[in-house]
A and B are shown apart, each in its own frame.
Chain A
Amino acid sequence: MEAGRSPNIEILSNTDFLELSGKPGNFTAKLRRRPRYIDADKCTACGMCTQYCPRHLVDSYNEGLAVTRPIHIDYPQAVPASYFIDPEQCLHLKHGTCKICVPVCRAKAIDFSQQPEDISLKVGAVIMSPGFGRVPDEALSKYGYGKHPDVLTSLEFERLLCASGPFEGELLRLSDCKHPKKIAFIQCVGSRDLTCGNGYCSSVCCMYAIKEAMVAKEHEPELEITIYYMDMRTQGKGFDAARTRAEAKGIKFVRARVADVMPWNEQLKLTYSTLEGGHLFEPFDMVVLSVGLDAPADARKLAEIGGFELNNYDFCQTGGFTPLLTSRPGVVVAGAFQGPKDIPESVTQSSGAAGIAAALIKQDRGKGVVIKSYPAEQPPAEDEEIRIGVFVCHCGVNIASVVDVPEVDRYVEGMEGVVYHAQSLYSCSQDAQEVIKQKIKEHNLNRVVIAACSPRTHEPLFQETLKDAGLNRCLIEMVNIRDQCSWVHANEPEAATQKAEDLVRMGVAKSRHSKPLPEQTVPVTPRALVLGGGIAGMTAALNLADQGFETVLVEREKELGGHLRNLHATLSGEPFAKMLKQTAEQVKKHKLIKLLTESELVQVNGFVGNFNSVIKTTKGKKESESTIEHGVIVIATGGREYRPEKVLEQPVKYSAAILTQTDLEQRLAGSGKNRAPASVVMIQCAGSRGDDLAYCSKVCCNQAVKNALQIKAINPESQVVVLYRDLRTYGYAEDAYREAREKGVLFVPYGMTAKPAISAADKAPKVTYYDPLLREEVTLAPDLLVLSTGMVPEGTEELSRLLKVPVNEDKFFLEAHVKLRPVELPVSGVYLCGLAHSPKPVDEIIVQAQAAAAKAAIPLVKGKVTVEPTVSSVDPSLCIGCGICESLCPYQAIRITKDKDNKRKAETITASCKGCGICASHCPVFAISMGGFTDEQISAQIKAFGEATNKE
């Protein structure tokens, strides 16, 4: 929700995209903004209008499970935080009557005179991120959707579970408002289903089904939940572990296809067939359909307006090696519109697309941005008098309906240091900011306490107001009398008022000790270091250089290309060799890229903006070292195919007859006469998802299908059997899986209780497995036994020690936030992409590398790192140099150095400090102080809590 605050992001909501002309660097877009009928600047989102609006409207935000009014806001945190009127349902707009809302609105924000507004924009580049659409109801009706109220879509179920949902988070059946005891999830509804035209796998449903099942279990631990699936496609990083947790919680997974769902007494009867051919049925109280992601309903219109191509499923068409480029130059795509995908993948694409757009119009960088200026801060005088102003907020009825706001305001009178106090109807509204600024001037305030809502959402706004008034932004103190008083004690108004008074007293006590803190900035060396010259490293280096930054690319081998050099082509047949050659040429030719091959990083010093690294180059017997100053690091050190000596607990010896999928890929790409022999057996998860590698390697299923198709293309008579656990051909790869089955490739699942047995006389391998269709053991003696062994990262442990960045239990680097910061590491200035992050196919690697480059470019663009003022600082006279702080800091932001007397002293690296306070709370001698949360402030706050309240 940060997007709402940036001065450089203009949100045009309620706006349709109509036309796009021009070329890259110089597009003209025509838009039309539909009226909200509410002045967004005046609306304070108090909610009074919705209370009075007489007309009901089905609430689409709650998936039609609740009702709202034509004048409404979807959810309280919406940005813009302004209500709007649905013109199709409003009595006034439709029939010229009503207008009740107009006098009700105290902010006078309602404006029925608003007209549609045409907008013309000149832009350098366009990013298409319209998301996904809905699977048509017809595809759901075969499971009883629309006929029985207890058959729900997954999104409807999500709303039921949500505290802001129709039953406030209580899980109830829509038919009788009773708690369900047994719930079934049906997977692959509207995906992997040609009858509704969606042949692809939506890649998200397995994950959200597990999530929803887990959340439902949290609501009601007694619930029995069964998930009916074809393949559990939890191939992402850490996803299998979540599935295992779900099983441990008692959620049942049944591999079966559901034929139909019929009413049965008070329940629903689910008929399903299993692999063994059994037809079974089971009653449930509620059935949830795991509905896939469809192309946006207006995809064709958007493609026509935007002038780019769609694929056969109406998602945006892109190339295997240019996954974010549409067919129209200058128009970039990101998110689910590029193909169904989850949040981390979408957010990664966002950054990648931003980087591409940035490189495209780099000559115009900085020309359009708005830089806000503030009046100079008044430096505090020595022994200046503390003058606190307190503003107590009503938040419309949000606080005032429970807490006695006038009483709290009266209570403040006479507190030490308080020279002004007032109530405010909405302290966050635009006019309230003007009032606060005016009162600061009028009463010469030098501290401000706002008793309102959460600093999480509103502190930046008030900090801004203080800056506008010439005060340091750290002189604001927020007291949360909404969440912590009126919300949680809604039924005890007196106690809530009392608590509000206590909190305000404590806030004022803390505020008396507030100090202005300097805004700190650290200069950045505008150069990037990219580690690894595979496709990830080359892509990242090219994007950084295209954005105009010097980049040093370090590769251990003599040649660029990395692991991809061992592979032949993508699933759709695009050859790697040509692309790698072209990319390597571009890297070598680029003026801003300095390439160091046969080189390794041996030492790193410094921190974000100011790294200093030593690179060792070994050419034959000649060794040399070079030192590089740089501002950021991109890790792209890659991985390789795993070659275990034991597969499924049985020893294997690789030979001409027993080989890995990559060996097979090379063999098939060659010209050997018998390269695709008469019989081939492939074993999936022969390394991954076991005791050996705990994770799914994500690429092996695609590679197996790709090789199987290749064998069939060379020798259609060849018998190919693929033994698998879950076939994870997610996304469009599902088409290839279907094609392989149609061409006669046999896919046979195995379970962990009946693993295939390999008798490994290396020249003539034999495989014995249980065939669930035949219901007996089968032994084959194939010409080739192919093992899908999985992927492992390379050299991550050494690098982790050098850079002091964490790796996970599988030795992949651990990103800062799995969902929202997928290419950043916890240490500032270090970014991550490619196989060093997790196994993934080449198109995802390219996107991730583009994203890492875009993120790494941000500090380089700014030329400085701005640090939040709330960082730790060490008093060297107290520090005993014990080093506890250094060992505990998760961000490598505090270190032990020697002072001039050669004594060990801790020192905060301000640029890396995130202000978490771990160091300060563990310092045995109280030598570390947190800006904004000093011991003095916190003690004063606690002391004020203990003070008996004497209201007389």
Chain B
Amino acid sequence: MLDTKKVGSVMIVGGGVTGMQAALDLADSGYYVYLVEKSGAIGGAMAQLDKTFPTNDCSL
């Protein structure tokens, strides 16, 4: 069993755009982050989108 005991860490469950942004902000604020994602890659539903409203920017 992998047993990690890092002080000052946060676990984020879900690696979509919400989880990724929270992870980046926490890492930027001095914390270690475990980003837990049940599928094979992070990105979530946003990675499936072609463009985003209302500016029609690419979402990747």
Residues of A whose CB lies within 8 Å of any CB of B are 1-4, 6, 8-17, 27, 29, 31, 36, 61, 63, 73-75, 77-80, 84, 117-132, 155, 158-159, 161-163, 165, 207-208, 210-211, 214-215, 238-239, 241-242, 302, 306, 334-337, 342-343, 346-347, 349-351, 353-355, 357-358, 361, 364-370, 547, 818-820, 854-855, 857-858, 861-862
Query: Given the complex of chains A and B, what is the CA–CA distance between A210 and B15 in angstroms?
Result: 27
* Bound Cα distance A300, B47 (Å): 25
Assess the A207–B34 pair: CB atoms within 8 A: no
Scoring A17, A123, A355 by chain B CB atoms within 10 A of each residue's CB, the highest score goes to: A123
**Is the CB–CB distance between B26 and A27 below 8 Å?**
no
B15, B16, B52, B53: residue with the most chain A Cβ atoms closer than 10 Å: B53
Interchain CB contact under 8 A, B1 and A120: yes
Could you show 29 A-B contacts with beta carbons less than 8 Å apart?
Answer: A12-B35, A36-B40, A74-B40, A75-B60, A79-B41, A79-B42, A80-B41, A118-B1, A119-B2, A121-B11, A123-B34, A124-B7, A124-B31, A125-B10, A126-B12, A127-B22, A129-B19, A131-B16, A158-B50, A241-B54, A334-B18, A335-B18, A350-B19, A350-B21, A354-B21, A358-B31, A366-B30, A369-B31, A861-B28
Is A129 within 8 A of B13, CB to CB? yes
CB <8 Å contact, A10 and B50? no
B35-57 vs A, CB cutoff 8 Å, 1 = contact: the mask equals 11111111111111111111111
Closest-CB distance, A152 to chain B (whole angstroms) = 14
Cβ 8 A contact of A350, one of B13, B18, B32: B18
Closest Cβ of chain A: how far from B42's Cβ, in Å? 5
The answer to whether A368 touches B31 (Cβ under 8 A) is: yes
Contact among A78, A84, A353 with B22 in the assembled complex (CB-CB below 8 Å): A353
**Known contacts A63-B48, A121-B34; A336 and B18 CB within 8 A of each other:** yes
Q: Are B8 and A365 in contact (CB under 8 A)?
A: yes
Q: How far is the CA of A103 from the CA of B55 in the complex (A)?
A: 46
- Residues of the A chain whose Cβ atoms lie less than 8 Å from the Cβ of B36: 12, 15, 17, 31
When distances are taken between beta carbons in the complex, the residues of chain B under 8 Å from A208 are 53
A122-B27 in contact given A13-B39, A13-B42, A75-B47 (Cβ < 8 Å): no
Q: In the bound complex, do residue A369 and residue B24 qualify as a contact, i.e. CB atoms below 8 Å apart?
A: no
Chain A residues with CB under 8 A of B51: 161, 211, 215
- Among the listed A78, A241, A361, A366, which residue makes an inter-chain contact with B43, where contact means beta carbons less than 8 Å apart? A78
Q: A743 to B40: give the CA distance in the assembly, Å.
A: 49
A-side interface mostly: mixed
Q: Report chain A residues within 8 Å CB of B55.
A: 818-819
Contact (Cβ within 8 A) A11 B22: no
Chain A residue contacts of B47, Cβ below 8 A = 61, 74-75, 77-78
A1 to B34, CA, bound (A): 15
Kindly provide the distance from the CB of B44 to the nearest chain A CB, expressed in whole angstroms: 5
Q: Which residues of B are found within 8 Å of A126, using beta-carbon distances?
A: 10-13
Is A354 within 8 A of B25, CB to CB?
yes
Report yes or no: A27 in contact with B41, Cβ–Cβ below 8 A.
Answer: no
In the docked arrangement, what's the CA distance between A122 and B9, Å?
Answer: 8
Are B8 and A6 neighbours in the complex by a CB distance under 8 Å?
no
Chain B positions within 8 Å of A369 at CB level:
8, 27, 30-32
CB <8 Å contact, B31 and A361: yes
Q: Which of B22, B32, B43 contacts A370 (CB 8 A)?
A: B32
Q: Known: A119-B1, A366-B30. Is A347-B53 also a contact (CB below 8 A)?
A: no
- Chain A nearest CB from B33 CB (Å) reads 5
Contacts of A165 in B (CB 8 A): 50
Q: Do A79 and B22 contact each other (CB < 8 Å), given the known contacts A8-B32, A120-B3?
A: no
Task: Give the residues in chain B near A547, CB-CB below 8 Å.
Answer: 29
Given that A11-B42, A131-B44 are known contacts, is A242 also in contact with B33, CB under 8 Å in the complex?
no
Taking a contact as CB atoms under 8 Å apart, the answer to whether A367 and B8 are in contact is yes
A11-B35, A127-B10, A335-B14 known; A78 vs B50 contact (CB < 8 Å): no
CB-based contact A84/B7 at 8 Å: no
User: Is the CB–CB distance between B18 and A347 below 8 Å?
Assistant: yes
- Which residues of the partner chain A approach B18 to less than 8 Å between Cβ atoms? 129, 131, 334-336, 346-347, 349-350
Closest to A2 in B: B24
Residues of A within 8 A of B7 (CB): 122, 124, 364, 367-368
The reply to whether B57 and A819 form a contact with Cβ atoms under 8 Å apart is yes
Decide yes or no: A6 and B14 within 8 Å by CB, A13-B37, A819-B57 being known contacts.
no
| CB neighbours of B41 from chain A (8 A) | 13, 73-74, 78-80
Given contacts A79-B43, A365-B8, A861-B30, contact A207 B54 (CB under 8 A): yes
A334-B18, A335-B18 are known; give 17 further A-B pairs, CB within 8 A: A3-B35, A8-B33, A10-B33, A12-B35, A31-B36, A63-B48, A119-B4, A121-B11, A121-B34, A122-B4, A122-B5, A124-B10, A155-B45, A161-B50, A208-B53, A369-B32, A857-B29
